[in-house]
Amino acid sequence: MSAESATAIQKGQVDLLDFIDWSGVECLNQSSTHSLPNALKQGYREDDGLHLESDADEQLLLYIPFTQVVKLHSFAIKGPEEEGPKTVKLFSNKEHMGFSNVNDFPPSDVAVLSPENLTGKPVILKYVKFQNVRSLTIFIEDNQTDSENTKIQKIVLYGTTVETTDMKGLKKIEDH
């Protein structure tokens, strides 16, 4: 699919930043001086001087677990016109993926970003594929101009939390 953009974030959708489990966040092939927190963490991602950059080649593999189940509606990526991501594959609830096996699994959705998308304009996802998301793997396959490195200034994930029942809070009903 081509990256369909939302003119405005749908009512009720929030930035899922507060629901990211930071202890489990990983990024393969990131530069040691330009790492994932630069593009994902509050404060860092608003600083145009900071960015995430790939290291050995243009590909990046991000793993983002959540502290609770979420419904993912859309995402936004801000990046430079030349080195910004182009083909973005998203996988719902796929753990322990690496560059050696990322193409063994069908992605939940694929977005081909245009330079216009790289201004931070939200890209709508196949909402039905992202209803019970515990973790999100994002594979940046290439960039806009096939340059050596990919750069991302900002990543925002939009969605809602899923109201789950706290099973510990339920009391057993006694038989009479």
Tokens of 148: 């050596």
Q: Are 93 and 32 in contact (CB under 8 A)?
A: no
Q: What is the pLDDT of residues 30-69, one digit of tens each?
A: 999 999 999 999 999 999 899 999 999 999 999 999 999 9
* Banded pLDDT at 102 (limits 50, 70, 90): very high
pTM: 0.87
Task: Give the CATH number, domain containing residue 124.
Answer: 2.60.120.470
Q: What is the pLDDT of residue 171?
A: 57
Question: How many structural domains is the chain composed of?
Answer: 1
CA–CA gap between residue 49 and residue 15 (Å, rounded): 22
Range of 84's domain? 14-161
Assess if residue 89 is contained within a domain.
yes
Radius of gyration of the chain from its Cα atoms, rounded to whole angstroms = 17
CA–CA gap between residue 30 and residue 23 (Å, rounded): 17
Assess if residue 44 is contained within a domain.
yes
CA–CA gap between residue 132 and residue 68 (Å, rounded): 9
CA–CA gap between residue 176 and residue 159 (Å, rounded): 44
Overall average pLDDT of the 99-115 stretch: 96
Assess if residue 32 is contained within a domain.
yes
Assess if residue 42 is contained within a domain.
yes
Q: Are 92 and 108 in contact (CB under 8 A)?
A: yes
Assess if residue 48 is contained within a domain.
yes
Assess if residue 3 is contained within a domain.
no
Assess if residue 166 is contained within a domain.
no
* Banded pLDDT at 173 (limits 50, 70, 90): low
* Banded pLDDT at 14 (limits 50, 70, 90): very high
Provide the 8-state DSSP code for 122: -
Assess if residue 168 is contained within a domain.
no
Q: What stretches of the chain adopt beta strand conformation (E)?
A: 14-15, 26-28, 52-53, 60-78, 87-92, 109-112, 123-124, 133-140, 151-152, 154-161
